[in-house]
């Protein structure tokens, strides 16, 4: 592993993935160094078993994945058949550098929430998932890491025919975060719905890169990314949708919306489409704007303070990112977590 990471060149900033958060900025130390990592501790309350496994050897030629392999850390797997109750997995990280690998093998229908917390200086997470034919997974990821933590997250999802993934992210923790989330639609009838909600303030830097690859026809994807940025925070959302040659009747859409709450906050939204098939539907859109003064004025005329009025607008805007989800348990839990976070912020 060590050799594999060391044989890789530092990726240039001309690469879409590393333009805004170059590899040296997310690496925990110096780029030629691979610190030995503490384990991220995974635990859950339900009857499902988390088994220790050997981490996957496939880095896909990506430097971040190769680094997480080389650093070691914990490695767990959970097999899911038809699960009636939502599963809550807690990932606790601590110490100087912590790394965890989690693999989900899904053969039926399941709802899983992964909640990462703790106060490490640096944490890396690699999540992989296989959805077998006709499997359905609703997956919620909640990042509530300490506000001084650097966080690297890689995900790789493989979907077989007629399987579906609903994937929601709520990102409110960490000081500098880099996510590289990839889904491959490997069989006809497979689909992914993905929503990402980011609330950034202070000097928080959050960079989300999402790739969805339609390798087969009659596949569907829907990506929504909403961020609200205050202080001098910086959010970057990049999306790469590819539709392979011959993958006709694929339907792909991506929408990015950013709400800028202060003069110094910045947001980038960069959707990218690579379509090699003829008969497809592919749509994308991106917009960044400050809060609508008329909305603010209206709420304040109803007796809300400026802070409360802004909070109501931000809440509604971030809530909306989850509106493309169809799984009720996923939708409700993500919105509840978001509401609790925003209420705590208002009290601070």
Query: Could you please report the per-residue DSSP string of 138-174?
Result: EEEEEE---TT-EEEEEEEEEE-TT-EEEEEEEE---
- Report the chain's C-alpha Rg in angstroms: 20
DSSP assignment, residue 291? Answer: P
* Strand 136-143 relative to strand 41-44, pairing: unpaired
**Is 253 in contact with 221 (CB distance < 8 Å)?**
yes
CA distance 127 to 153: 8
Of residues 144, 165, 164, the one with CA closest to residue 155: 165
**Is 43 in contact with 89 (CB distance < 8 Å)?**
yes
pLDDT of residue 2: 59
**Is 81 in contact with 107 (CB distance < 8 Å)?**
yes
CA 196 to chain centre: 6
pLDDT of residue 165: 98
pLDDT of residue 47: 84
Q: In residues, how long is the chain?
A: 348
pLDDT of residue 59: 75
Residue 155: half-sphere exposure toward Cβ, Cα within 13 Å:
23
In whole angstroms, how far apart are CA 101 and each of 125, 136, 153, 161?
A: 6, 21, 10, 25
pLDDT of residue 1: 57
CB atoms within 10 A of CB 61: 9
**Is 274 in contact with 243 (CB distance < 8 Å)?**
yes
pLDDT of residue 108: 96
CB atoms within 10 A of CB 325: 23
**Residue-by-residue pLDDT tens, the chain, 348 positions:** 556 898 999 999 988 899 999 999 999 999 999 999 999 999 998 888 899 888 777 777 899 999 999 999 999 999 999 999 999 999 999 999 999 999 999 999 999 999 999 999 999 999 999 999 999 999 999 999 999 999 999 999 999 999 999 999 999 999 999 999 999 999 999 999 999 999 999 999 999 999 999 999 999 999 999 999 999 999 999 999 999 999 999 999 999 999 999 999 999 999 888 999 999 998 888 999 999 999 999 999 999 999 889 989 999 999 999 999 999 999 999 999 999 998 888 787
Question: Per residue in 210-268, pLDDT tens?
Answer: 999 999 999 999 999 999 999 999 999 999 999 999 999 999 999 999 999 999 999 99
pLDDT of residue 89: 97
pLDDT of residue 54: 81
Alpha helices in 289-327 (DSSP H): 293-301, 306-320
And the tokens for 43?
């635990």
pLDDT of residue 208: 97
């Amino acid at each position: 592993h060590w050799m594999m990471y060391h044989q890789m060149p530092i990726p240039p900033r001309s690469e879409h993935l590393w333009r805004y958060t170059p590899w040296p900025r997310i690496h925990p130390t110096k780029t030629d160094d691979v610190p030995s990592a503490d384990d991220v501790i995974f635990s859950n309350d339900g009857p499902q078993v988390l088994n220790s496994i050997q981490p996957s050897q496939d880095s896909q030629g990506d430097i971040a994945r190769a680094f997480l392999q080389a650093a070691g850390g914990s490695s767990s797997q959970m097999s899911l058949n038809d699960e009636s109750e939502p599963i809550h997995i807690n990932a606790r990280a601590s110490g100087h550098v912590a790394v965890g690998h989690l693999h989900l093998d899904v053969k039926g229908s399941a709802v899983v929430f992964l909640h990462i917390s703790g106060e490490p200086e640096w944490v890396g997470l690699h999540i992989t998932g296989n959805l077998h034919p006709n499997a359905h997974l609703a997956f919620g990821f909640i990042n509530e890491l300490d506000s001084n933590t650097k966080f690297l997250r890689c995900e790789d999802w493989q979907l077989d025919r007629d399987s579906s993934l609903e994937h929601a992210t709520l990102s409110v923790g960490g000081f500098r975060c880099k996510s590289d989330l990839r889904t491959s639609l490997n069989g006809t009838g497979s689909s992914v719905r993905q929503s990402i909600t980011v609330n950034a303030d202070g000097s928080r830097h959050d960079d989300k890169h999402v790739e969805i690859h339609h390798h087969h026809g009659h596949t569907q994807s829907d990506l929504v990314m909403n961020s609200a940025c205050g202080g001098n925070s910086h959010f970057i959302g990049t999306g790469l949708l590819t539709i392979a040659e011959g993958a006709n009747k694929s339907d792909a859409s991506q929408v990015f919306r950013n709400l800028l709450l202060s003069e110094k906050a910045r947001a980038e939204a960069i959707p990218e489409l690579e379509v090699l098939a003829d008969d497809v539907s592919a749509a994308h859109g991106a917009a960044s704007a400050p809060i609508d003064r008329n909305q603010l004025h209206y709420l304040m005329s109803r007796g809300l303070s400026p802070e409360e009025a802004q909070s109501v607008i931000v809440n509604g805007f971030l809530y909306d990112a989850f509106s493309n989800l169809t799984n009720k348990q996923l939708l409700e839990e993500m919105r509840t977590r978001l509401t609790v976070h925003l209420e705590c912020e208002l009290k601070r």
